[in-house]
Structure 1
């Protein structure tokens, strides 16, 4: 069985973190370790994390990409899951991660999506189908493969070590899920699984200025990564890589069939 680490970056989100850690404590397949990354909190984030039995690591430099990278670097698991402090995973979340990665050796990353809580039903609909639906649609077109969603995704440790060399840690405006998604190599397998859907807070819609800031950072991530590798070349590399992945899957399937009595 693979070891599973779950990383939760947190900045002044102690009350939401408490609920997230309670959900992790109720998993049918318990994580082998839970890491809370304190990104310079001034509330009782650290105390809440330790009371729940999580390991706390500190990343004083503000920025969600830096916090996520700090937690991933500290993780010891073969599979590294990622939740936000406001995420509320269902009880089968870690079990589903283990199942997905164990049944497909060509899979390097897997993502779920979110269903919103807080505010009202109109915002829940807007958030899930327009905000997140638009995110997956636009970013898939921008990078040539499905992106991961920061509130619910996981990587193999080997994939993280490869991705780690291409992310933009010196840029505090980077969304971690987007930059990691762009850094996933063209041969890497990225899957979407609706069973990994988690509840997430509707707070991105609290203020129009906050929403615009998040959106502007998203376009910034795209621009930076397109300057590294242009859009058309990225699409071509992704198409070639996915063909090679499908070929590997066929070889693995034939080998598995040949080994049956």
Structure 2
């Protein structure tokens, strides 16, 4: 059985997709080992690494699964499918969660039975020290501001988010898991946010690398993929249509997550 909100001991799975990022993954797994509330399961989804990523994960006691379909969308979705935890948390390999990250996420889900997903913020842990905080605020703020009109709600941030496994199971057939040109967290935002509530959880702190800004071409490609992720959901989620659907569904009332069979 899955623990209902309010029950004292929901189980937690952390999913981390990885490809050729052994050094950063080792740091991330060390941070997870120092959690005040440790995850019950850590799933590393190896998306065709040629380095020691799988070995590093195994040495840290994580469960390693291979994803032969290329792309972070496929790797992430496979991890979510295989997760056993009542709550599924997601990090990237270059993330450094604070020691209370898992505990804060679990407490938030227990206190908010009508919320299906929480998304946290981030701080940069490398790059010019004086620019770390303002750049992180601009980066995440711009992402949220740009995506809110398209979604009608807050977007999920893939480097720091969590959701109920029951919610994932209800929408997993709709995500674009084989499209390598989409942002998987934004795609998931479309499908989870259509039916469930997504909320911000600032106290769930995670550090991340400034690598997305290091390569102009790579950053431009990320922006282009963001626009493509939006457009691929049209016309069924064209903003006026989506907003109308959300208003209608929210008048019915929020869904509460109760005990259901595995």
Residue 68 (structure 1) aligned with residue 76 (structure 2): yes
SS at match of 1:108: strand
Aligned to 1:256: none
Residue 36 (structure 1) aligned with residue 47 (structure 2): no
Spell out, residue by residue over 1:85-127, the C-alpha distance to the aligned partner (whole angstroms, 9 max, x if none). 0110011111111111111111100010111122214642453
2 CA distance for matches of 1:99 and 1:242? 24
Residue 114 (structure 1) aligned with residue 106 (structure 2): no
Please give the residue correspondences for 1:1-261 in structure 2 after superposition, counting only pairs within 5 Å: 1-121=9-129, 123-125=131-133, 127-245=135-253
SS at match of 2:224: helix
2 CA distance for matches of 1:126 and 1:214? 20
2 CA distance for matches of 1:52 and 1:125? 30
Alpha-carbon RMSD: 1.7
Spell out, residue by residue over 1:149-194, the C-alpha distance to the aligned partner (whole angstroms, 9 max, x if none). 0001011001111221211122111111110001114330111010
Greater displacement, 237-246 / 83-92: 237-246
More RCO (CA 8 Å, sep 6+):
2
SS at match of 1:124: helix
1 CA distance for matches of 2:134 and 2:218? 16
The 1:60/1:123 distance shift into structure 2, 3 A limit, reads: farther
Contact 1:186 1:240 in 2 (8 A): no
SS at match of 1:113: coil
2 CA distance for matches of 1:122 and 1:223? 36
Contact 2:149 2:239 in 1 (8 A): no
| Unpaired stretches in structure 1, ≥5 consecutive residues | 250-261
Aligned residues: 249
1 CA distance for matches of 2:134 and 2:224? 19
| Unpaired stretches in structure 2, ≥5 consecutive residues | 1-8, 257-262
Q: Which runs of 4+ in 1 moved over 6 A?
A: none
Contact 1:187 1:245 in 2 (8 A): no
Spell out, residue by residue over 1:114-147, the C-alpha distance to the aligned partner (whole angstroms, 9 max, x if none). 1112221464245312221100111112100111
2 CA distance for matches of 1:206 and 1:32? 35
Contact 2:73 2:178 in 1 (8 A): no
If each structure's helix is expressed as a fraction of its own residues, which one has the higher value? Answer: 1
2 CA distance for matches of 1:123 and 1:240? 43
